Amino acid sequence: MTPYEKASRYLQELLKTSSLEDIIAGLSAKEHVDSPKLPRFIYASEQSVKRRWELLNNDEAQAILFDEAAAATMERYQHNIENYIGTVRMPVGVAGPLKVNGLFAQGDYFVPLATTEAALVASYSRGAQLITASGGCTSMLLSEGVSRAPGFVFQSLIESGMFVNWVMQHLEEIKQAGESTTRHGKFSEIRVNIEGNHVYLNIEFFTGDASGQNMVTIATQAICDYIEQHSPVRPQHSFIEANYSGDKKASSLSYLGVRGKKVSAEVTIPAALVKDYLRTTPEKMMEYWKMSAIGGVLSGTMGVQGHYANGLAALYIACGQDAACVSESAVGVTRIDVTERGELYMAVTLPNLIVGTIGGGTGLPTQQACLSLMGLAGTGKARAFAEVAAGLLLAGELSIIGALCAGDFTRAHRKLAREGKKAT
């Protein structure tokens, strides 16, 4: 079906129930009338929550979302949510054991995953068990840093060049301005991009055990304030983020540096274990990888991998990470090879793991409990957490590619998602 035919059919379906005039009237702006408003106080308090539910007027939903547990823990969420009305529960499962041999992560981990997608935890757990049976994966943190990219508008390209020259001569002062806002953040570098009379400064910080987006935003604002006060070349306009840092989006910039933590993990698996756990062969898995790599190129994907987002979303939600960062964290490359001894070699490389073990949602009760299950809650654990995350994604790639090669992919989803519901 051509795009024209598809659009024509869609329009015909719409016109079966409404006239064109009614459709246009429904889509047009309406005269404003006063609507019920949320309380102006956006934080969680007994009175403000009560007023919000009076406005929403849904006793059944209130009983579920704002139960005794949600009311009792309300104050814990003050710095994580506005216009609070309760909590949402998600099922949490564990995948593992996953043996990780890393620079910072050492041992067997049972990894908590929060998801509503049947078959996901089972798949990651199968891959983790295969990795563990093979002696574990090697997982290595390669680089780290979080960036913010302010933009500056000048009258001309000449002014852009003069401004960049001034910035390069005052890096120490710029560094001090940024670091003055944080005890944990450390200035790393500035990368410059000039586009006509526009200048982008990609400012990178080391953020310790925090995922660091807020930390870097505040530090970058201090840098922009210093530039505004001291630069002899005055920008006409400036913006704290000019959409050049790659924040919360997949970009080719990922492969040129790091945003968050860059980690690579690998495993070598004997053919007999591949057959026992996955019911396929290393050779067939490599053939699948070659075809999927070309498929990724043909479809224009950013990187080549099976389903990093599945594992990352479940891990991030369970462990109090910023779930929106899955959009950039899921950029990466999976590679498969067959060794001279006929073993399966698989590696994953992720340049954008935005993870932390302090700050953000990591201190909330259930999220901290999930981090604690792995022994990764609190200070000094973020690097190990990143290495475990890479090992988890390696497990997920092993399992899904094995299922596709063995013809188990559809069967597993049918059994766990459909037949499993019937069994309950």
Catalytic machinery residues: 117, 248, 322, 413
CA atoms of 207 and 204, how far apart (whole Å): 9
CA atoms of 247 and 239, how far apart (whole Å): 15
Q: Are 313 and 355 in contact (CB under 8 A)?
A: no
Quote the Cα angle for 307-313-273, to 5°: 45
Parallel, antiparallel, or unpaired: how do β-strands 303-304 and 332-338 relate?
A: parallel
DSSP 138: E
Helix, strand, coil percentages (3-state) for the chain, rounded to 5, are 45, 20, 30
Task: Report phi then psi at 91, rounded to 5.
Answer: -70, 140
Comparing CA positions, the residue from 343, 338, 347 lying closest to residue 304 is: 347
Q: At what angle do helices 3-15 and 20-27 cross, to 10 degrees?
A: 90
Compute the Cα dihedral for 414, 415, 419, 424 and give only its sign.
negative
The pair of three-digit structure tokens given for residue 393, joined into one six-digit string: 């994604």
CA atoms of 256 and 254, how far apart (whole Å): 6
Q: Are 49 and 66 in contact (CB under 8 A)?
A: yes
The pair of three-digit structure tokens given for residue 261, joined into one six-digit string: 């933590």
